[in-house]
Structure 1
Amino acid sequence: MIFKELLNYYETFVACFSLSYILFYIFLAILSYTAIKKHINTKYFIHDDILAKSNHVIGVSVVAPAFNEGANVVYNVKSLLSLTYPKFEVVIVNDGSTDDTLEKLINEFELVKVDFFYQEKIETRPVKSHYKSTNPLYSKLLVVDKENGKSKADASNAGINSTKYPLFLCTDVDCILKGDTIIKLAKPFMESEKRIIATGAGIRISNSCEVKDGFLVKVHFPSGWYPRFQELEYVRAFLFGRMAWSQINSLLLVSGGLGMFDKEVAIAAGGYWHKSLGEDMELITRMRKHMYENNLDFAIKYIPESLCWTEVPATKTVLITQRVRWARGLIQTLYLHKNLFFNRKYGRTGFLIFPYFFAFEFLVPILEFIGVIVLILCFIFLDINYTYFLYLTLTVYLFYLIITIISIFLDDRLYKNYANIKEIATLILMAMIEPIFYHPVNVYASLKGYLHFIRKKEQSWGNMQRIGFNTQKK
């Protein structure tokens, strides 16, 4: 009898939680639509070609950490050097690679060691040397060689310390950026009345794309199962999630693969935390805290355009490793900054953003796991209301499917990333089976990440075992 009562309470809780989840996503969908429409209406306020030729733009430093990226580092550095912007530099940080990453950079770009005034505004592992090219063609390139810090955060901080411009764009050396990426991300810093402290934009999947010498020749639909599932994730997250949060100035996550930051604020906040496994989210959290604590008005903007292509995990093993790190980074950030929760001093960050991430990002995998256990026990020991269970499951599933399909068609309408109807139909089919074949993998990885956090198990940046663009379709 007691177990039956507890089950009734649990069913009520799940129903209320599911309804709250659906209503909140409807709210985010409305915000996202408003933000995208606003961006389209105002995107030509300052024309990109004017910025590309102006001598009065803000200088930008592109920071790209590299750890064992010998497979494609040369191609991608050339791609970064070809970006269209009047005033920028490229800072590559060799984070103690054990392969031929540094050797390839030295040989290809004719690098030599230089005397460099290195001011360690953010503490990092020791920096061994700085390299510049003897070839004028590569005058914008600076290579920083440092001891391995076991994290992307430590490498990024060394790059930030070495930059000369007031804005820095942090990316991954394996990422392929669209030619006008710097222009798009820097525009809000020059247009907004508020102080912009960070900007971000959409990231797409480069798996199966045609890439030649570090340049994206043609976008192709991912061929593998896991990359296709991740395509769905990226479309939903960037179009529905981050555009909505940007609309109400509540972004807590600017992707580590593509984010531009105000260097002064980032340094004042302490830079990336070298122990963090979710360094992008953790930095934004501290930057927001810094602005609140100093009573400074600020904004973080998101651009609803695909500006970056990156290789994603192609196998379940590599995917789980990545998602374990992400999950651990989430709980790590929430725990480290727990004083933000419902703290009036931190405004909507404390009353809206952190509670959302705790309830709908952190708790969901745990609740799903408990739900499966309860369901199994009920099937064995109790007669449950199968009709109620079916309706609830079907409602959540159909809502998820509708949101995903809207995201796919909106993405195609805005950016024309898909070659034909067949690719769109394939993506919709993947969305239909995602909850069965892909979602459980993410839940498992999240729970494993939480367990690693509780057990304080060490996990370093590591290597994602990339295929390398030179082996992709040419």
Structure 2
Amino acid sequence: MIDYFSTFLTWFEYFILVFMLSYILFFLVLAVSSYLAIDKNLRLKYDLPKDLMLKSNQVLGISVVVPAYNEGDIIVDNLKSFLSLQYPKFEVIVVNDGSEDETLDKLIKNFDLKKVDFYYDEKVKTRRVLGHYKSTNPVYDKLLVVDKINGGSKADASNAGVNSSRYPIFLCTDMDCILKNDTLTKLVLPFMVEKKRVIATGAGIRISNNCKIKEGTIEEVRFPKKMFPRFQELEYVRSFLFGRMAWSRMNALLLVSGALGMFDKKIFFEAGGYWNESFGEDFELITRMRKLMHDKKEKFAIRYIAESLCWTEVPSTTKLFVTQRSRWGRGLVQTLKVHRKMFFNPKYATTGILTFPFFVFFEFLVPILELLGVIIILCSLIFLEVNYDFMLYLLLAVFLFFQSITLISILIDEFIFKNYNNLKEILILIIMSIIEPLIYHPINTFSYLRGYWLFFTRKQPKWGDMKRNGSLTLDLNS
């Protein structure tokens, strides 16, 4: 028995070595691609200047869709912030998803709303819509409120909002998100100037925890004080700059954040809208939209903007963090399972040959391999002599590589966007990156493994299970 285990351990060591070398090599490719994408994004001069767009009525109209469930504490100020976005042709659609607090009452009172006759074309099936409200005050003529029965998910509320929209492009966001004033202008530009048909765009997202917020706008960007938000700040910087920018350059982006995603409404409807049963509706939607375009054999693009355009609150406690990431883990395995026929399928071009396999091998399998590695190491300590040199060299190589990637991400972010107030905040972020493998990464890995387990054993929780954290609403489903 010991001999069999020893042979297995040897083969496992070789497998892990090859796997990690492949992982590192692929991330090097992503790093180079990301650098080129950021450089192009910063140097690119579009034919339509921002000032010209703000003064023109020939731009594409945009519908900003904002689902809301029990948002009475923040809805007035944050909605005013959405209504003040700088763009000549847009509307804001708030979907009251069966709120049990004063959300609808506050909307009616503060925005002078009256129920109106409205032609509702239900292109995507949702729970019953109870009515539409418009303001009698011309100041709020861009506002439309949709009141509906709770659908149990953000997806159902978002679908009702898109069904009610009038413009060909829509932006889906969350009520707790704070957007830069020029967000619409920057996200819609690729739709207007790209030669390929752009079906979605996204941009960087930052953390609003501890930021000074007044009347739905950020007065001062502040560095997170608590440990978990700091770790997530580090993760966001690395993933947005060295992940999604790279995939965007290769036109292989498979994920646009649910907190800030702009979409071609026609393609959205053709794809069937958000899937109400999905645990990760944003990831699953992009996968389905890409599949649709490949099936239609139409050239398309999904673009990502290097600049941070949105601030949102993130979990600040272990319990909230594990709950959120477990849902992300369920969404990952569910989407990969539902669309498994795309795996290494040349019919789906880069999506099937490159992106989908990456998510299977590196996003899905890594937590499982890490757990298996821990189990094997513990068994080896009991039954065999452990090759400590091999293990330590491998761990050190992986740590130094990802530490380099993280440091480069921090430096690029600070050099280009200057999001931090002083050197102390940058040094704190660097220290967090050093201790990340010891604290944050194991908890994150556990959360994803828990999500995989729950996918096969439990039902989807209702959207109403959201928690409150600080002054903003934390959407555990996003």
- TM-score, length of structure 2 as denominator length: 0.97
> What letter matches 1:396 in structure 2?
V
1:447 to 429, 446, 449: 449
Question: Of 10, 13, 21, which aligns to 2:12?
Answer: 10
Equivalent residue number for residue 348 of structure 2: 346
Residue number among 49, 64, 67 corresponding to 2:66 in the alignment: 64
2:140 paired residue number: 138
Partner of 1:99: 101
Indicate if the aligned counterparts of 2:46 and 2:193 stay in contact, CA closer than 8 A. Answer: no
Which residue does 1:210 correspond to in 2? 212
After TM superposition, the runs of 4+ consecutive aligned structure 1 residues lying more than 4 A away are: none
Q: Is the Cα contact below 8 Å between 1:211 and 1:469 reproduced in 2?
A: no
| Contact residue 203 and residue 308 of structure 1 kept, 8 A | yes
CA contact (8 A) 1:318 1:465 kept: no
Q: Shift of the alpha carbon at 1:19? A: 0.6
| Structure 2 alignment gaps of length 5 or more | 474-478
CA distance in 2, matches of 1:269, 1:469: 32
Show the counterpart of 1:238.
240
CA distance in 1, matches of 2:284, 2:306: 22
**Aligned amino acid, residue 241 of structure 1:** G
Q: Structure 1 residue aligned with 2:203, among 182, 201, 205?
A: 201
Structure 1 residue 108: deviation in Å? 1.1
Work out whether residues 198 and 303 of structure 2, in 8 Å CA contact, stay in contact via their aligned partners in 1: yes
Q: What does residue 296 of structure 1 align with?
A: 298
Structure 1 distance, partners of 2:462, 2:349, is 33
Structure 2 counterpart of 1:262: 264
Aligned counterparts of 1:248 and 1:433: Cα–Cα separation in 2: 32
Distance (whole Å) between structure 2 residues aligned to residue 332 and residue 106 of structure 1: 39
The 2-side partners of 1:365 and 1:198 are apart by: 29
Deviations 1:283-306 (A, max 9, x none): 111111111111111000000000
SS of the residue corresponding to residue 202 of structure 1 reads: strand
Cross-structure match for 1:229: 231
Offset, 1:42:
0.7
Matched, 1:86 2:88: yes
Q: Could you tell me how far apart the structure 1 residues matched to 2:452 and 2:112 are?
A: 45
Is contact 1:55–1:86 with CA below 8 Å preserved after alignment? yes
Cα-to-partner distance string for 1:32-66 (whole Å, 9 max, x where unaligned):
00001111111454221111111110000000111
Look up the equivalent residue of 2:148 and give its one-letter code: K
Partner of 2:181: 179
Distance in 2, matches of 1:457 and 1:144, equals 28
Q: Secondary structure at the match of 2:468?
A: coil
Match of 1:34 among 33, 36, 61: 36
Matched residues in 2 for 1:100 and 1:330: separation? 34
Matches within 5 A, 1:401-440: 401-440=403-442
Cα shift at 1:128:
0.7
Alignment-derived partner of residue 109 in structure 1 = 111
Letter in 1 for 2:398: V
SS in 2 for 1:211: strand
SS at match of 2:175: coil
Kindly indicate whether the alpha-carbon contact (under 8 Å) linking 1:70 and 1:101 is maintained by their aligned counterparts in 2.
yes
The one of 329, 333, 336 equivalent to 2:335 is: 333
Deviation at 1:460, TM superposition (A): 2.6
Q: SS where residue 458 of structure 1 aligns?
A: coil
Name the counterpart of 1:463. 466
Give distance in 1, aligned partners of 2:227 and 2:111.
37
1:208-253: CA deviation from partner (whole Å, max 9, x where unpaired) = 1011000111101111111000001110111000000000100000
Q: Which residue of 2 aligns with 1:364?
A: 366
Cα distance, 1:469 vs. partner? 4.8
Paired residues of 1:109 and 1:135 also in contact (CA < 8 A): yes
Contact 1:68 / 1:463 at 8 angstroms: preserved in 2?
A: no
Does the Cα contact within 8 Å between 2:279 and 2:460 map onto a contact in 1?
A: no
Name the counterpart of 1:122.
Answer: 124
Q: Per-residue deviation at 1:112?
A: 1.2
> Is the CA contact (8 Å cut-off) linking 1:292 and 1:345 kept in structure 2?
yes
Q: CA deviation at 1:100?
A: 1.5
CA contact (8 A) 2:67 2:95 kept: yes
Structure 2: how far apart are the matches of 1:468 and 1:267? 35
Q: Do the aligned partners of 2:126 and 2:156 also contact (CA within 8 Å) in 1? A: yes
Query: Alpha-carbon deviations, 1:411-448, whole Å to 9, x = none?
Result: 01111000011000000000100111111111111011
Q: Unaligned regions of 5+ residues in structure 1, if any?
A: none
For 2:29 and 2:135, the matched residues in 1 are separated by: 51
Q: Distance in 2 between matches of 1:372 and 1:395?
A: 18
Partners of 1:444 and 1:74 lie apart in 2 by 38
TM-aligned CA deviation for residue 468 of structure 1? 1.6
Say how many residue pairs are matched. Answer: 470
Q: Secondary structure at the match of 1:449?
A: helix
CA distance in 2, matches of 1:106, 1:53: 31
Shift of 1:466: 2.9
RMSD across aligned C-alpha pairs, in angstroms?
1.0
| Cα distance in 1 for residues equivalent to 2:102 and 2:387 | 61
- Check if 1:188 corresponds to 2:190: yes
What do residues 247-302 of structure 1 show as CA deviations (whole Å, max 9, x unaligned)? Answer: 01000000000010000000000000000011001111111111111111100000
Instruction: Give distance in 2, aligned partners of 1:460 and 1:10.
Output: 41
Q: Which whole-Å CA distance do the structure 1 matches of 2:157 and 2:234 have between them? A: 30
- Equivalence for 1:162: 164
Q: 1:151 matched to which residue of 2?
A: 153
For residues 392 and 43 of structure 1, what CA distance do their matches in structure 2 show? 44
Q: Which of 36, 48, 52 is equivalent to 1:50?
A: 52
Does the aligned pair in 2 maintain the 1:229–1:430 contact within 8 Å?
A: yes
Scaled by the length of structure 1, what TM-score is found? 0.98
- Contact 1:78–1:214 (CA under 8 A) maintained in structure 2: yes
Contact 2:256 2:282 survives alignment (8 Å): yes
Corresponding residue for 1:314?
316
Contact between 1:28 and 1:245, CA under 8 Å: does it hold in 2? yes
Give deviations 1:60-81, integer Å, cap 9, x for gaps.
Answer: 0000111112221111101100
2-side partners of 1:142 and 1:248: how far apart?
A: 37
Q: Deviations over 1:109-166 (max 9, x none)?
A: 1111111100000001111111111111111011111111111111100000000000
Q: C-alpha displacement at 1:457, in angstroms?
A: 2.9
